[in-house]
Structure 1
Amino acid sequence: MTTEPARGEIERFTVRQKITMMVNRYEIRALDAAGTEGPIIAVAQQKRMAFKEEVTFYEDEERTRPVFSFKARKRMDLAATYDVTDAAGAAIGWFRKDFGKSLLRSTWHLGAAGGLEAIGTERDQTVAVVRRVWDFVPFAGDVAAPFTFHFDFTTADDTVVLVSERRRSLRDRYTVELPATANGWRLDWRVGAAMAVALDALQGRRRSGSF
């Protein structure tokens, strides 16, 4: 059995999406200083036609022990706030999509225990517009989007607390970084992982691989 990493221990990790006929699956692996992937530290799996409102992450591929989850406060609400909780159900963070600003450029609000709040936006405005055009292509729902779009989350004083970058691959793969702030604080990796998966699963794209 793996040991759950300490809250501030994870600085970088990858998120890989795997799609089968029956389920969608996200695997999270820590990255060392050289960029080498380690063993799985969390995995989320859900039936293809299941609702998007709740996703649970487990410590191993057999899904024997949950380690954290995110859940919408309201079902079937496009503007819902999602709470991130630990294995015991205690709140450790939250996030929600800003649908007004997201019409042209995807924007998310992120909060963490202790009162920290950050806003995440797509880094490239041009890619944001092209992605929206792509959604109207007839075959787009069956093909992974061919764009390397990235998100940066910053606080009110422009401190970066989370970076998610999509890598070129047949299926979605992201590299996520949780930079330390000036006082050494770092975003809880579980909150960062929940947000990173949501950036793929809840983006509202027509691709059949989304939650």
Structure 2
Amino acid sequence: MNRPIAGLMMRQKITMMVNRYRITPLFPDGSEGPLIAFAQQKRLKLREEVAFFTDESKTRIAFSFKSRNIIDMAATTDVLDAEGRPIGVFRKDAARSLLNSTWYLEGPGVQATGRERSQKVAVVRRFGGMLPIVGDLLDLVPWQFHFDFVNPAGETVFVSERQRKVRDEYRLLLPVFGQGRQLDWRLGAAMGVALDAFQGR
């Protein structure tokens, strides 16, 4: 992608056995570009593996991610380019996620910890479902859960914001940090899909 971007828009389409994601670029002037990646995640797999294609014809892989182990709460997942070379890794911190979902993200020159922005939303989503009737009502709520990923210097390197819509739609922001650096958009897209697909675990 030759034109600088400020982030990505990710829209999900849910089907019976597959989650599909359309990813488009967001430019600094607020405009949105054409499709740059199309991903699908098959459910009920023992090891998570998601391919991101260049378009909806699914003829050419742009990048992918794959968990190293059979699914567990803290499996490390590798993000790979079209030739299978590493772009970065991410993993969930199972213990810290009991009260607030916590993720670790690493890429070239980047190490960041991501957490849900609202502790209140995190707690209600987890424990409200245990109450009779309340849990059924909460299932109907299109939660606006947001994640902020911050590096050891306190700089925000990635943001995932769920939009207030019934269909899952996310703004994935890629702020400039440090000496003019920016997270690889492919790593941001992979992390965005994982935050949606794995969040119930």
| TM-score (normalised: structure 2) | 0.90
Please name the residue that 1:208 is paired with. Answer: none
Match of 1:154?
Answer: 150
AA paired with 2:172? V
Match of residue 181 from structure 1: 177
Q: Which residue of 1 aligns with 2:162?
A: 166
1:35 Cα deviation from its structure 2 partner: 2.6
Contact 2:90 2:191 (C-alpha < 8 Å) held by counterparts: yes
What is residue 132 of structure 1 aligned with on the other side? Answer: 126
How far off is 1:9 after superposition? 3.8
Instruction: Quote the residue 2:73 is aligned against.
Output: 78
Aligned counterparts, 1:1-211, within 5 A: 5=1, 9-51=4-46, 53-114=48-109, 116-136=110-130, 137-138=135-136, 143=140, 145-204=141-200
Contact 1:82 1:96 in 2 (8 A): yes
In 2, distance between residues paired with 1:150 and 1:176? 10
Identical positions, percent: 54
Alpha-carbon distance in 2 for matches of 1:99, 1:16: 27
| C-alpha displacement of 1:135 | 4.2
- Per-residue displacement from partner, 1:26-62 (whole Å, max 9, x unpaired)? 1111112343322111011134444561111001011
Structure 1 alignment gaps of length 5 or more: 206-211
Q: CA deviation at 1:23?
A: 2.4
1:114-154 deviations in whole A, cap 9, x for unaligned? Answer: 4x21000001100111111354424766x4x4221110000
- Please list every run of 5 or more consecutive structure 2 residues that lacks an aligned counterpart in the other structure: none
Q: 1:47 to 1:109 in 2, by over 3 A?
A: closer
Q: Deviations over 1:54-76 (max 9, x none)?
A: 11100101111111111101012
Higher relative contact order by CA 8 Å / sep ≥ 6: 1 or 2? 1
Task: Check conservation: 2:149, 2:159, Cα contact below 8 A.
Answer: yes
Number of aligned residues: 197
Match of 2:112, SS state, is: strand
The alignment's TM-score, normalised by the length of structure 1, stands at 0.86
SS at match of 1:197: helix
**What is the distance in 2 between the residues matched to 1:25 and 1:51?**
19
RMSD: 1.9
State how far apart, in whole Å, the 2-side matches of 1:170 and 1:84 are: 29
